[in-house]
Each structure stands twice: as C-alpha cells, then as structure tokens.
Structure 1
C-alpha cells in the first residue's frame, strides 16, 4: 500500500511545486517507486518536468473521460499530468455525491504499483485540495519564513482538523519545512523561530536554501538532481528526503 503525501499551502509562491518535484525525484533516487500528481491548474509541475503536450490528464480522468494515465519521467518516477481546466472542477463536480472522494477513487487502483504518491495541491483550500486531504496519509507544508507566513499555515491546519473529524481520520501533518531560507536575514531567522516555538513537533530540521539552480531546473524540464546534482539545492532536498523517510 502506497503512502500518499500532499504538498499544500494556502499561500502561493512558497516552493510547493518545486518541493513536490524534487522530493519525488529524491525518493525515486533512493529506490522507491514514485507517482506525482499535478493538481494545480497552473500545471507548473507538469511543465517543469518536461511534459508539455500531455494528451491525458488528471482532470479528464476525474471526469471519467478516459482512464488515468501516468507518464514515465525517469526510472521509478512517473507523473499524472495536470490541466488548466482543473480550475472548473468545483463548478462541475461541486454538487455531486461523495465529491470529496473522487481523487481517492481514481488513485485506488494505482496503490500497488507505487511506494509513494505525491500530490501537488493548488494554493487554495477548494474542492481539489479537499480531495487531496481526503485521500492523503500525510501532509507536508512548505513555508517561507517571512511576514504573514503563519496566517496561511494556520488556515491549512484548521482545514486538516476538520478533514480528520469528517473525512479522513488517518490524516496527519508529516511536517513543516522552510523554503527559500536565508539564515543571514534577521527577519527570516526570527520568523522561523516563532514557527518552531509554536509548532515544535511539526517543524522539520531540514531547510531549503535560496538557490538559483532550483529556479533554473524547471525551465529545462528537469529536477534539481538531474540539472545540478552538486548544487546546494540538491544537497538540501537530499537531506529533506532522508528526514521525510524517517517520519
């Protein structure tokens, strides 16, 4: 049975998609069979891994227009493509019975083929994100250590509590980790300490430093390990993957 991890934050631009791609690639490098699922209408995960013209995507599969299709990205790593039309998912499926479990039903047949299924959620707490929370075993929350960062975090944790009560009792927050972290900046250090003090059991030791290579890699359709294996970004994500594997 695979472990389903959702990467989520109500705030955009926190490195959520970058983390999903590189943690997925890191898990695959460690020998695990990994499936990535792009649930963000911006489709940055899909395009950032070099899949530009996918004929089949998660939205069409959710609407039962065709069977779900996983595209191979590299050895032990595959991707279910996203689609801009995911933005209309709530409008199309919002009145359907058991609408919160559509993604869970879609992924059910794939469990035996994967060790990990990683969900890249949109930066909003709508029906798509609710579907991700309803089928996930763990949530990981990437966070920038800056002003107002904790506001989005608290909204995510509130939604997690509601989902645990009503839809998915087994859901847990695997951890919070800081992205684009620069320890030289006082505000970043102080904000990180505030979050660590408030959520001591949730904040991971690993942090992802600000790194140019992490922004360059998706433009070439690559993860950080393929693009710049000796970079700070690759080192940070390798450390983060090891920590996730221990939780």
Structure 2
C-alpha cells in the first residue's frame, strides 16, 4: 500500500508545486514508484512537467467521466493531470454525501501499484484540500522564512487538528521545510528559529536555497534533476528526499 504525501500551504508562492515535482522526481530516482496528482486549478505541476493539453485529468476522473489516468513522465514517475475546472469542484460536489472522501475512493485502485502518491494541493483550505487531507498519510508544508510566514502555517495546523478529530485520525504532519532560504539574512534565520521553537520536532533540517535553475526547470517541462543535476537546487532536494525517507 502506497504512502500518500500531501504538499500544502494556505499561502501561495512558497514553492509547493516545485517541491512536489522535485521530491517526486527524487523519490523516483531512488527507485520508488511515484504518482504525482495535480490538485491545483492553476495546473502548474502539469504544465511544469511538460504535459500539455492532456485528454484526461483528475477533475474528470472525480466526476466519473472516465477512469483515473496517470501519464508516464520517466522511469518510476507518472502524473495525474490537473485542470482549471477544479476551481468549480466545491460548487459541483459540495452537497454530495461523503464529499470529503471522493479523492480517497478515486486513488484506492492505484495504491497497490505504486510506493508513493504525492498530492499538490491548492493554496486554499477548501473541499479539494479537505479531500487531500482525508486520504493523506502525511502532510509536508513548504514555507518561506519571512514575515507573516506563520499565518498560513497556523491555519493549516488548525485544519489538520480538525481533520484528525473528524475525518482522518491517522493523518500526521510529516514535516515543515523552508524554501527560497538564504541563511545569510538575519531575518530569515530568526524567523526559522522562531518556527522551530513553536513547532518542535516538525521542522526538517534540510532547507531549499533559492536558485535560478529551480525557476528555469518548469519552463522547459523538467524537474531539477533532469534540468540541472549538479545544481544547488538538485543537491538540496536530493538531501530533502533522503530526510523524508528516514522519518
């Protein structure tokens, strides 16, 4: 049975999609069978990994228009495409019985065929995110160490507590990790220490430095290991994958 890891933050622009893509690619390179699922209506994960105009996507599968399809990207790595229509998911399914378990039901048939399923959640705590939390084994929260960084984090942690009580009692927070991190800046270091003190044991040791290559790779439809395997970004994500595997 595969582990389902949800990458989430109520705040946008924190490197959530970049992290989902590169951690997924890193796990695949380590020999694990990985399926990525793009749950963000912006579909940046889909476009950033070079999948243009896919015929099947997760929204159509959730509506039972067709079976779930994972498009192969490279050895051990496949992607369930996202779609802008996901923005209407709550309106379409909001009144349905057991609406928070629709994604869990959809993913069950593929759980025996892969080791990890990684969910790229939208930057909002709506029905799509609730579905992700309801089926996830663990949540990983990318975060920038800057002013107001804890605002979105606190909201995520509040929702996690509610989901644990009512929907998914086995859900855990796998870890919080810092993206676009610059240890030379005092404010970044101080903010990181504040969050480590507030959430002891949850903040991962590995940080992701801001590098040009991490920004360039999605424009060419590639993960960082394919685009710039010797870059600082590749080294950081490789180390982060190893830390996740040992938790």
Number of equivalenced pairs? 247
Aligned twin of 1:75: 75
CA distance in 2, matches of 1:166, 1:198: 25
Kindly report structure 1 stretches of 4+ aligned residues shifted beyond 4 Å. Answer: none
Q: Post-superposition shift, 1:195?
A: 0.3
CA distance in 2, matches of 1:235, 1:166: 39
Aligned twin of 2:179: 179
* Structure with the largest fraction of strand: 1
CA distance in 1, matches of 2:24, 2:78: 9
Alignment of 1:55-94 (within 5 A): 55-94=55-94
Local SS of the residue matching 2:69: coil
Q: Post-superposition shift, 1:177?
A: 0.1
Superposed CA deviations along residues 147-196 of structure 1, whole A, max 9, x for unmatched, are: 00001101000000000000000000000000000011111111001001
Q: Post-superposition shift, 1:200?
A: 1.6
Aligned twin of 2:104: 104
CA distance in 1, matches of 2:161, 2:52: 37
2:12 matched to 1:12?
yes
Superposed CA deviations along residues 30-86 of structure 1, whole A, max 9, x for unmatched, are: 000000000000000000000011000000000000001000000000000000000
2:42 matched to 1:39?
no
CA distance in 2, matches of 1:198, 1:57: 39
Aligned twin of 1:140: 140
Alignment of 1:185-224 (within 5 A): 185-224=185-224
2:162 matched to 1:158?
no
Aligned twin of 2:122: 122
Structure 1: tracts of 5 or more residues without a match: none
Q: TM-score, normalised by structure 2?
A: 1.00
Let me know the Cα RMSD of the aligned residues. 0.3
CA distance in 2, matches of 1:242, 1:218: 23
CA distance in 1, matches of 2:84, 2:186: 38
Superposed CA deviations along residues 99-124 of structure 1, whole A, max 9, x for unmatched, are: 00000000000001110000000000
Aligned twin of 1:230: 230
Structure 2: tracts of 5 or more residues without a match: none
